[in-house]
Amino acid sequence: MLPFTVVALDLNQAGLAREAYRLQCRAHALEAEWLDYPSLPWLWASPEAVPASPLEVTGAFEGEHLCGLLAVSREQGRVHIERIVVDPDVHQRGWGLRLLNELLAREARVTVETAEANAAAIALYHKAGFILEKRWQGADGLALWRLVCERGDDRDGPTLTLGADGRIEQARFVPSPNCNDYPPGPPPGLLVVHNISLPPFRYGGDAVERLFTNTLDPSADPYFADIHALRVSAHFFIRRDGELVQFVPVHRRAWHAGVSRWHGREGCNDFSLGVELEGCDFEPFCHAQYSTLIALVGALERRGPLELTGHSDIAPGRKTDPGPCFDWARLRRGLAG
């Protein structure tokens, strides 16, 4: 059973319509309080209005629990987000971004309008790649923003430069002690793509950085109790918003591959670089991550050509990442220019 699902909702199902309406009511009360705006519009005025609505609604489930929903309207090819609703009990666990990412993976251009005072919503949209298109004052004096996200060319990523010290100059450097020298020989010619999220399937926070720097608090989450003593690292980590973090200079050997084999050669740490993508096996990666990864490979290949593969390919049966949602064809198109 998948740990979560993001699926289109059939709101003609009475039970599902009631659950969607209940979730809207709980989230609406909280948002109206945040904004000090009691007249915040409703998606649905009553439970009976839910199945009659023309909106397309996607739901995010953890097991059978409806954690959030996203409602969009369409008009002459225009896709507009009418509302993102997240259960207040699971706020700050990435459900809003998960819903947005599913939409943005299949739509080339999406717009949304929100109140300027809704800092949490604006931060979420910025993280997903939305930019401000228009600002105006509503009739009731509320400052409003229209934001837009257009899927750009994956090659329009950041300009990255590899320095003589083995560090990407534009990356945020968080040094990991979990590294050592490569065996004598040419520079690594293999780049291994992984995915990681800590706790599993939750994004944001500093847990990955803490794991790779041996500072993970085992009491912070039940999952951490089993992994906090691991001594692992990767050269790079690309967050959902495309931020690049570097832990190990490229002339040092990171501990990312474990027991592994490639083209008959054992121990891939000895001849590879490792890049972790914030994500999991069960949902698409973000446009910003592909853009940064393409730019990173371009910067690294100035040292020499790189063969690209996944963790699952060098440790079959033991590892599954980066998983079936990673689009290798998309990556290769971007690298081909």
* CATH number of the domain bearing residue 20: 3.40.630.30
Is residue 163 situated within a structural domain? no
- Burial 40-63, CB ≥16 within 10 A → b, else e: beebbeebeebeebebbbbbbbbe
Residues 176 and 276 in one domain: yes
Domain count, the chain: 2
CA–CA distance, 202 with 222 (Å, rounded to integer): 14
User: Could you tell me if 187 and 147 are in contact, meaning their C-beta atoms sit under 8 angstroms apart?
Assistant: no
Residue 155 lies in a domain: no
* Residue range(s) defining the domain that contains residue 139: 5-150
Given this model, what pLDDT does residue 277 score?
A: 98
Structure tokens at 189: 């010619």
Q: How far apart are CA 259 and CA 54, in angstroms?
A: 52
* Same domain, yes or no: 323 and 292: yes
Question: Hey, what are 337's tokens?
Answer: 């220019």
Q: Tell me which of 19, 31, 102, 276 is the catalytic residue.
A: 276
Q: Which residue has the tokens 């891939």?
A: 268
Pair 43, 110 in one domain = yes
Residue 141: its pLDDT value, please? Answer: 79
Quick one: pLDDT at residue 337? Answer: 72
Which pLDDT value is given to residue 198? 95
How far is residue 124's CA from residue 25's CA, in Å, rounded to a whole number?
A: 21
Return per-residue pLDDT of the chain as tens, 337 residues: 678 899 999 999 989 999 999 999 999 888 888 778 788 889 999 999 999 999 999 999 998 999 999 999 999 889 999 999 999 999 888 899 899 989 998 898 999 999 898 888 998 898 888 999 999 998 777 889 999 998 778 888 899 999 999 999 999 999 999 999 999 999 999 999 999 999 998 888 899 999 999 999 999 999 999 999 999 999 999 998 899 999 999 999 999 999 999 999 999 999 999 999 999 998 889 888 999 999 999 999 999 999 999 999 999 999 999 999 999 999 999 999 7
Is the pTM here over 0.85, yes or no? Answer: no
C-alpha of 96 from chain center: 11
User: Does some domain include residue 157?
Assistant: no
Question: Long-range contacts: 45-52, Cβ < 8 Å, 24+?
Answer: 46/21, 47/17, 47/18, 47/21, 50/11, 50/17, 50/18, 50/20, 50/21, 51/11, 51/12, 51/14, 51/17
- The reply to whether 276 belongs to the active site is yes
pLDDT of residue 1: 60
If asked whether residues 231 and 85 sit together in one domain, one would say no
